[in-house]
Amino acid sequence: MCGIVAIAGKAPVNQALYDALTVLQHRGQDAAGIVTCESGRLFLRKDNGMVRDVFHTRHMLRLAGHFGIGHVRYPTAGSSSSAEAQPFYVNSPYGITLAHNGNLTNAHVLAKDIFRSDLRHVNTDSDSEVLLNILAHELQERRKFIPEVDDIFAAVAGVHKRCKGAYAVVAMITGYGIVGFRDPNGIRPIIFGERDTPEGTEYIIASESVAITSLGFRVVRDLAPGEAVFINSQGRLFTRQCAENPSYTPCIFEHVYFARPDSIIDNISVYKARLRMGEKLAQTIQREHPDLRIDVVMPIPDTSRTAALELANQLNVKYREGFMKNRYIGRTFIMPGQGQRKKSVRQKLNPIELEFAGKNVLLVDDSIVRGTTCREIIQMARDAGASKVYFASAAPAVKYPNVYGIDMPAKSELIAHGRSEQEVCELIGADALIYQKLDDLIAAAREGNPDIQAFDCSVFNGEYVTGDIDDNYLDALQASRNDSAKNQKEKGSTIVDLANG
């Protein structure tokens, strides 16, 4: 999972890109990058680290130009090479830079095709570089010295025909403009906005609406599945549907976990969707667990706060903050190695013992992935004096790996894979476990936008909306995502980094 932004301005955009990436920092903490364009020249700065660490004053001063794109990269375990930081660049045709959120499910096949038929070299393991070269090839096939609007959209249509999976993309064609586009299933989010200035209208494209509104832009709308938007060098905006058979199946996990609550994605308020998740979860508890004697409801900070608050309201039970969070520890389900994850949980959260002593506590989290975090938290609650510890998940059981850009573990490392609810409850050490019903989760999100008929819920039901995922693919994914493979990759990355000084 990553965050992307592009701005076509009437004044220098370096500070605005920086500010947007800061707002999107929750979508990626591993690396950050910005590229700008002025007078046909590109100025690029990217590196591992948080936005505030990658960009210093000397870097910002060099990022000249009124057009630019930016990227924050989600920390993928065992993959810390700055060579995979984005945006990526290819010099032919025109000079194209690209930033991408998502995952190409046919990236390995495309990488071979790029070399054999397109005669292009891919230098990293990133599918974003593959996507960039596909876009570049499709543009080059138009054989135009100066690309026109139709050429841009035809190239995006070519990308849609060749690329499978999930992708929200921003790209800059040096001297000609900025293009943004979304995969034909609309899995990953992308939205655009505008603002008026004395010099004319400026445009922004981003992963979430909060990056648009925080910079003083007006939200125009989300890009439709398969749609592309192009802002040319004169600041004119064009949009076109570039996919033959688009379908609207956005990722529901954005609303569960990734997106900021103050964002609106696909015309759905993330905050209100999470409120409804809490309401639905409370109804499940009242219906299926009427004998639970709950003294207090506590969220596992931060994502579950909204759902936990509404759950407590519905149950007419006290809501309390029982854990204080260290904000300088990364998200744990993507960290390599069980030992590191366990250590991180204890460093990340600290209980307020007075809130636990002698009480029956209902802990609420957004989801349960490996189970490492909730098992440690439940034990922390008991150590703090809780009489009973119940655990509720605002999402259904995560039973299947994600193939569309979320670095979830191999299926064998998902605690709910192949296990019953009671077995998971015993493994995490809870006195009771309550999962959200999938139908309730879908209803909570869909109420915000009834035009969406279906969501990608593959991590919960194993149904992959792109239709190209089989057991062989998942077996290969298992081999690359298990802890031993990641630890081996991490060792290899260390050697490469040392060799490069």
Residue-wise pLDDT tens digits, 295-318: 999 999 989 999 999 999 999 999
**pLDDT given at position 497:** 32
Q: Token pair of 417, please?
A: 């894979």
Is 366 annotated as ligand-binding? yes
> What is the structure's pLDDT at 498?
27
* Cα Rg of the chain (Å, integer): 23
Q: What is residue 416's predicted lDDT score, i.e. its pLDDT? A: 97
Q: Please tell me the predicted confidence (pLDDT) of residue 76.
A: 52
Domain with CATH 3.40.50.2020 in the chain: 269-326+344-488
Q: How far apart are CA 318 and CA 144, in angstroms?
A: 66
Q: What is the DSSP string of 126-192?
A: -HHHHHHHHHHHHHHTT--SS--HHHHHHHHHHHHHH--EEEEEEEEETTTEEEEEE-TT--S--EE
> Has residue 142 got a pLDDT over 70?
yes
Give the Cα-Cα-Cα angle 163, 169, 175 (nearest 5 degrees): 115
* Cα–Cα dist 101/183, whole Å: 10
Q: Which fold has domain 3-247?
A: Glutamine Phosphoribosylpyrophosphate, subunit 1, domain 1 (3.60.20)
Tell me the range of 177-186, 321-330, 334-343 where mean pLDDT is highest: 177-186
Residues facing residue 361 across a β-bridge = 296, 389
- From-to residues of CATH 3.60.20.10 in the chain: 3-247
Facing residues of 425 across strands? none
* Per-residue pLDDT, 150: 98
Q: What is the pLDDT of residue 496?
A: 30
| pLDDT score at 75 | 61
The encoded tokens of residue 14 equal 């370096």
User: Average pLDDT in the 139-152 region?
Assistant: 96
- The confidence score (pLDDT) of residue 477 equals 85
Q: Would the pLDDT of 264 be above 80? A: yes
CA distance 442 to 456: 10
- Tell me what pLDDT residue 488 has: 57
* 365 marked as part of a ligand binding site: yes
Q: Which residue has the tokens 């832009």?
A: 217
Burial 1-17 (b: 16+ CB within 10 A, else e): bbbbbbbbbeebbbebb
pLDDT at 201 over 60: yes
- pLDDT bucket at 339, cuts 50 / 70 / 90: very low
∠ CA 446-450-452, rounded to 5°: 75
At 151-162, the pLDDT tens digits run 999 999 999 999
Task: Report, as residue numbers or ranges, the catalytic residues.
Answer: 2
In the chain, the amino acid numbered 211 is A
Tokens of 193: 């906005």
Please state the pTM of the whole predicted model.
Answer: 0.92
For residues 373-378, average pLDDT? 94
Q: How far apart are CA 249 and CA 182, in angstroms?
A: 12
Cα 274 from chain centroid (whole Å): 17
CATH 3.40.630.10 for the 269-326+344-488 domain, yes or no? no
Percent of the chain with pLDDT over 90: 83
Ligand-binding annotation for 303, yes or no, is yes
Q: How many CA atoms lie within 13 Å of 24's alpha carbon, on the beta-carbon side?
A: 35
The kind and range of the H/E element at 365 are strand 360-365
